[in-house]
Amino acid sequence: MDKSILRRNIINLYQFIKEYYYFILSPFIIVVFFLVYFNNQIEKDDIKENLTMTYGKIYGSSNIYKKYSKRNFRYKFTFDGKIYTGTSTGYITDGVKEGKIYKVEFSKENPRHNRMIFDIEYEQRLILDQKGQVADTSYVQVGQKFRNKMKEIVEEYKFKTDSIKN
């Protein structure tokens, strides 16, 4: 085959692709969109069917394109002695930031299918044994510790006033 014919064919192919690239790329874009959509749907269904909850801690974030308060937050949680990570979308204006703890919904069959719920912030409370070592961990809503302390004070005051009356 003559080099000039080959060169002309390549140029014609290039011009065709340049002019009709959107017809060529459209099927690929549509397939990728549906793969992402169905993968997300499968993940949501898996979480719904095998729902388990725990607590996770945010360790990083990145902003979403041209959105200043909406961010993708990266978090870690532990299940069956293994550490898993995830990403969920939240708002800085709601007070979501690194180091905070929130509930995580995940599939017990596949913990990689997970999402963080930013409704209520929690704080970690370590329960120590007699030797001062961590025996257990519990989580309470932020501000709940203060409410519990006030309730104890009120109960103690009530007890004192009841004993004075008798």
Query: What pLDDT digit, counting tens, does each position of 28-51 carry?
Result: 888 888 887 777 788 888 889 999
Same domain, 14 and 66: no
- Please list, in sequence order, all residues whose beta carbon lies within 8 angstroms of the beta carbon of residue 29, skipping any fewer than 6 positions away: none
Instruction: Name the domain count of the chain.
Output: 2
Same domain, 59 and 137: yes
Share of the chain above pLDDT 70, in %: 89
d(CA 74, CA 5): 55
Same domain, 112 and 59: yes
Domain residues for the domain of 137 are 50-141
Global pTM reads 0.66
In a domain, residue 76? The reply is yes
Same domain, 105 and 56: yes
